[in-house]
Structure formats: structure tokens, C-alpha cells
Amino acid sequence: MLQIDYKSGVSICDQVVNGFIRLIAMKVINTGDSLPSVRSMASNLSVNPNTIQKAYAILEEKGVIYSIKGKGSFVADSEKTNEAIIKNETNNLKQAILSAYQIGYKKEDITEIINAIYKKEE
Amino acid sequence: MLQIDYKSGVSICDQVVNGFIRLIAMKVINTGDSLPSVRSMASNLSVNPNTIQKAYAILEEKGVIYSIKGKGSFVADSEKTNEAIIKNETNNLKQAILSAYQIGYKKEDITEIINAIYKKEE
Amino acid sequence: MLQIDYKSGVSICDQVVNGFIRLIAMKVINTGDSLPSVRSMASNLSVNPNTIQKAYAILEEKGVIYSIKGKGSFVADSEKTNEAIIKNETNNLKQAILSAYQIGYKKEDITEIINAIYKKEE
Amino acid sequence: MLQIDYKSGVSICDQVVNGFIRLIAMKVINTGDSLPSVRSMASNLSVNPNTIQKAYAILEEKGVIYSIKGKGSFVADSEKTNEAIIKNETNNLKQAILSAYQIGYKKEDITEIINAIYKKEE
DNA sequence: GTGGTCTAGACCACA
DNA sequence: GTGGTCTAGACCACA
């Protein structure tokens, strides 16, 4: 379900968190869908269960999933998930753009980068 | 000269590195200007000299400063600093924009954020 | 695994960096192989862990190894390591040859040294 | 007489030593010629007299100059200087070439680098 | 005084 | 257990 890059420098925990946020944002998994159990996820990725446990806790704290003892973890309702995801992403963008602005980037400089990425990925 | 947030999660070393890159990018300090000595910087920020030493080493490797044993550390030629700064900033932007792209942001969504920042700051 | 000369004038850190580059270049250790942990290496060489830590950080930055928090350090893909190794070695050679050129060595003088080494070692 | 690059990372002392060795090797200055006094050299290069003093001491130790108290420093006889210079340079080359050999460089790989340098500089 | 390297040892995040 | 960051402080080369 998720691809982990063990050499990327990004912690596995963060990769799991971001991976699920992405899957939810792209509607690959939707409100009410259950996530793999901590243990199955851990064994599939050959990863320590604690790592997955922590990732799920972070996702729950962000409001994109909820966990029910003895049943498992589920995607929260789309209103909540949308809000959480957009807030997260917009903050990232704001920070990067503000920083670029402060060192003298013009709107066009940023637009150029955007165009390059959207063209390349399409 | 620099503001350090000791609880930000970002390492002190990185804050010093990014702080100076920003100061140089904004031309607050210019080619040939000397940076505070490792020791004075360390005592001003109430931080261990090794931490500043490491930050300066990273800045030197990025090509934005050069250090002379026994003399001090200085801002590099503007050609070199510009190159390093643009590379740094463009990487930041690329990462943020790619991530936004992947979860479904459209060009217009990002442009909106850009406009908000550039209007607000002007 | 590595021989350190504590009085050579070359820093321990650099000796570790160059030592591993050589081991990788000579295929004594290969892609995916794990390096000794920072701590075990440090105790084996009777050296402070920070020194090894720094050496590993430099090796990672050069692209010949990658480190995973909590797991260890590993030799990178051979594509990456080859590139880094050749860059490193070619720089060394260039520097030595340029210096010889400048004080009047002719091509033949250098070729003679090369022949002596290659004959002797074969 | 000498060009010092204050940002090169190479210590001023070493630059002075290598600079004179080069001048002697290229016969710009010859046996019996006097070197600038420590003080005039220091003031010309805006450098601490101790630094020049040390450089001269190293040159004397290598046998390429000799100093007479109250009179100054002079280039040694050409037999001595030649010997010292060739020994120095050949050692450098041997070290670099042996290292290249050990990691699998072929003669041709090194020859290519030599040709590139000799063509570029001519 | 200034940068550079190192020891000794603590503490954190991650697995 | 493993890598990463940091404090405290010594010592060296260089100017």
C-alpha cells in the first residue's frame, strides 16, 4: 500500500504519515475505510511495530484517522481530513514562499518553478 | 545578529546556517564582510563553540563564506553566494510545490497563496 | 578494518573517510554492506565517537554511504559510489600533476614514475 | 614577487614556501640571489612577520635556501635546490599515483589527465 | 585572538 | 542498539 524508501533520510514514521495523508488526499482511501493493522503494516514493511504505532498516533492527532480499541484505525470524515490536509500543505507552501519572497524572489521566479513541476509530472 | 529559537525542533546549527544565508541573500552582510568569530557568536547565543564551528563549516562548504585560520570567516564573492543561495531556495520551493502537486493542488491554488503573501508584504 | 596513524598529521577523521573510500573502491565492502556502528568503530580505534560520526557524515555527503537513524550506515549504490570515488581520485591526481607541471616536469618525467609504480606493483 | 590567495584555504606559510620553491624551480631566482627580508615581505603581503619567518625556516630546512644572521636569506646552490625540489615533487606524485593504482586506475586513465593538463596550460 | 580537531560524555529520535 | 546534536573544555596551527 505504501512505498518506503529506507535510504531517503526521511524517517520511516514520517514516510508512513505522509504516505497516508497523500492516499487520503488522492481519495485512494476514503472516510470509514480501515487502515492496515499496526502489526500487519509493520511486518509488510519489515519495520518495527512501534514505528507504525507512532505514525498512526500522529495521524490521529492531526485528525485524519481515528482509532477504536480492539477494532482498528479508520479514515476520518472527509470534512475533517480535508481541513487537516489543506492546513498542513498550505502552511508548508506559505513558509517556503515567504522565505523566497524575503530573499528577493519575484512572483515570476516562483511561477517558473511551478510550471516546471506541473509540466514534468503531467 | 541572529535570532535562535531553542525549542523550534530545527537544530541550532541549521538555524545559524539558514540565518546567515538569509542575511547574505538580503544583503545585510556583503562580500568580504567578516562574520562574528566562532567564540563570540557562541557566547552571544549561549551556545557551544562546536555548534557554531559546525555551522560555519557547512556555510563554507556551500560556498557562501570562507574561513582563514587565525584571521576569521568572511562572506564569499557574490557570484558564489548567489549561486548557493538560489540553489538552496529553489530546492526548498521545489520540495514544497511537488508535495502540493502530489496531493492534488492545482496551479491556481498555489498562485493564490503566492499572491496573498506578496500583497501582504508589500 | 582500518589502520589509523595517530601521528601522521592527517586528521583521524580524514583517515577514516579516505580509508572507507579506498575499501569501497577496492570492493572490499560493497553496495548495501553495513559499516561498523559509530560507537563500535570509535571503541575499536580508541577514538571519540564524535570523530567517527563526523567522518560518516562526510562520507554520506560525498554520496558513498547512507545512514539510517536507528539502523546503521550502509554502502551506497555502486553508481553513486563510483562517481564519488572517481571525482575524489581525479582531483588528487590533477592537483599533483598540475603542481609538477608548474615547476617544469615534462610528461615523460611523470610517465616514468607511473611506469615504475605499475611495474613494481604488478 | 609572490601572489598570495588569502581565501584559498592553504595557509599563507605554505603558500610562501611553495611559491619560492616554484620560483627557484623555474629559475626566476637563482643560486646566491637574496630573498626579500622577512619584514619587507611581511609588510608587502600584509602578513604577520612570524608567518614569513616560519616559511623561511621551512625552506632552509628543506635545503633550498640558507640564512646568514645580519645579512639575509639566499638561494642555495642549484645542486641542493634541485635535489630538494625533485624529491619533494616526486614524492607527491608517487603518493597520488599509487593511490590511483590501488583503486583500479589504469595507466591510460592517468595519462589522460596528464594530457588534459599539459594541453590546457600550454 | 581565530579557526580546526579532538576527548568525554549527555540526551534525543528512531527502530 | 543506532545515528544525530549538543555541552564543556582542551589543545594545536596560524596570524
C12 CB contacts (<8 Å, ≥6 apart)? Answer: C4, C6, C45, C47, C51, C55
User: What is the four-CA torsion angle of B64, A9, C73, B51, rounded to 10 degrees?
Assistant: 40
CA distance D111 to D113: 5
Q: Phi and psi (nearest 5°) for D67? A: -115, 140
Q: Is the pLDDT of residue C86 over 80?
A: yes
How confident is the model at residue A84, as a pLDDT? Answer: 86
Point out the residues of chain D with pLDDT beneath 50: none
Q: Phi and psi (nearest 5°) for A6? A: -70, -15
| pLDDT, mean over chain B | 93
The three cell numbers of residue B12 are: 541550532
User: Residue C50, CB, less than 7 Å from strand F?
Assistant: yes
Q: Which of D7, D50, D51 to mutate to test the interface with B (most CBs of B within 10 A)?
A: D7
How confident is the model at residue D54, as a pLDDT? Answer: 94
Closest to D55 measured CA to CA, from D68, D36, D69: D36
Instruction: Name the minimum distance, in Å, from the CA of B19 to any CA of chain D.
Output: 22
User: Nearest chain B Cα to A110, which residue?
Assistant: B93
Q: For cell 560518516, what's the residue?
A: C56
What does DSSP assign to residue D73? E
Write out chain A residues lying below 8 Å of B98, CB-based.
Answer: 117, 121
The CA–CA distances, whole Å, from C47 to B114, C8, C16, C20, D25 equal 51, 15, 11, 16, 42
Closest to A59 measured CA to CA, from A69, A70, A71, A51: A51
Contact: D92, C111; criterion CB under 8 Å: no
Distance in Å from E6's C1' to C44's CA comes to 17
Select from B66, B69, B74 the Cβ nearest to the Cβ of D11.
B69
Q: What is the pLDDT of residues A10-48, one digit of tens each?
A: 899 999 999 999 899 888 999 999 999 999 999 998 889
Q: Which of A4, A5, A7, A14 to mutate to test the interface with C (most CBs of C within 10 A)?
A: A7
| pLDDT, mean over chain A | 91
CA distance D55 to D14: 7
CA distance A90 to A25: 13
User: Nearest chain D Cα to B77, which residue?
Assistant: D7
Residue D23 near residue D1 (C-beta atoms within 8 A): yes
pTM of the entire predicted model: 0.86
Tell me whether C68 touches chain D (CB under 8 Å).
Answer: no
Contact: C105, D85; criterion CB under 8 Å: no
- Give the distance from CA D77 to its chain's centroid: 16
Q: For cell 603558500, what's the residue?
A: D15
Q: Is the pLDDT of residue B16 over 80?
A: yes
Write out chain C residues lying below 8 Å of D9, CB-based.
Answer: none
Query: Burial letters for D5-21: b for 16+ Cβ neighbours within 10 Å, e otherwise?
Result: eeeeeeebbebbbbbbb
User: Residue B73, CB, less than 7 Å from strand E?
Assistant: yes
State the Cα angle at A84 between B93 and A33, rounded to 5°. Answer: 120
The CA–CA distances, whole Å, from D111 to B83, C101, D58, D99, D117 equal 33, 13, 33, 15, 10
Q: What is the pLDDT of residues B61-86, one digit of tens each?
A: 999 999 999 999 999 999 999 999 99
How confident is the model at residue C33, as a pLDDT? Answer: 95
Q: What is the pLDDT of residues C31-62, one digit of tens each?
A: 999 999 999 999 999 999 999 999 999 999 99
User: What is the four-CA torsion angle of D112, D114, D120, D122, rounded to 10 degrees?
Assistant: -130
The CA–CA distances, whole Å, from B15 to A37, B47, C18 equal 38, 12, 30
Closest to D103 measured CA to CA, from C24, C29, C77, C97: C24
Q: For cell 614524492, what's the residue?
A: D91
User: What is the four-CA torsion angle of D1, D5, D9, D15, rounded to 10 degrees?
Assistant: 0
Residue C55 near residue C72 (C-beta atoms within 8 A): no
CA distance A69 to A107: 49
Query: What count of Cα atoms within 13 Å lies in the side-chain half-sphere of residue C120?
Result: 11
How confident is the model at residue A10, as a pLDDT? Answer: 87
Q: What is the DSSP string of chain A?
A: -----TTSSS-HHHHHHHHHHHHHHTTSS-TTPBPPPHHHHHHHTT--HHHHHHHHHHHHHHTSEEEETTTEEEEPPHHHHHHHHHHHHHHHHHHHHHHHHHTT--HHHHHHHHHHHHHHH-
The angle, 0 to 180 degrees and rounded to 10, between the axes of the packed helices A78-102 and A12-25 is 110
Residue B1 near residue B36 (C-beta atoms within 8 A): yes
CA distance D42 to B60: 27
Helix (H) or strand (E) holding C74: strand C72-75
CA distance D80 to D62: 9
Contact: D121, C104; criterion CB under 8 Å: no
Q: What is the pLDDT of residues A50-109, one digit of tens each?
A: 999 999 999 999 899 999 988 999 999 999 899 888 988 898 899 999 999 988 999 999
Q: What is the pLDDT of residues B80-112, one digit of tens each?
A: 999 999 998 998 899 899 989 988 899 999 999
- How does residue B55 score in pLDDT terms, banded at 50, 70 and 90? very high
D65-68 and D72-75 strand pairing: antiparallel
User: Residue C65, CB, less than 7 Å from strand F?
Assistant: no
Distance in Å from F7's C1' to C14's CA comes to 24
> Measured CA to C1', what is the nucleotide nearest D48?
F15
Segments in chain C forming alpha helices (H): 12-25, 38-44, 49-62, 78-102, 107-121
CA distance A65 to A58: 9
How confident is the model at residue C109, as a pLDDT? Answer: 94
How confident is the model at residue B35, as a pLDDT? Answer: 96
Select from C99, C104, C115 the Cβ nearest to the Cβ of D92.
C99
Residue C33 near residue C74 (C-beta atoms within 8 A): yes
Instruction: Name the minimum distance, in Å, from the CA of B64 to any CA of chain D.
Output: 12
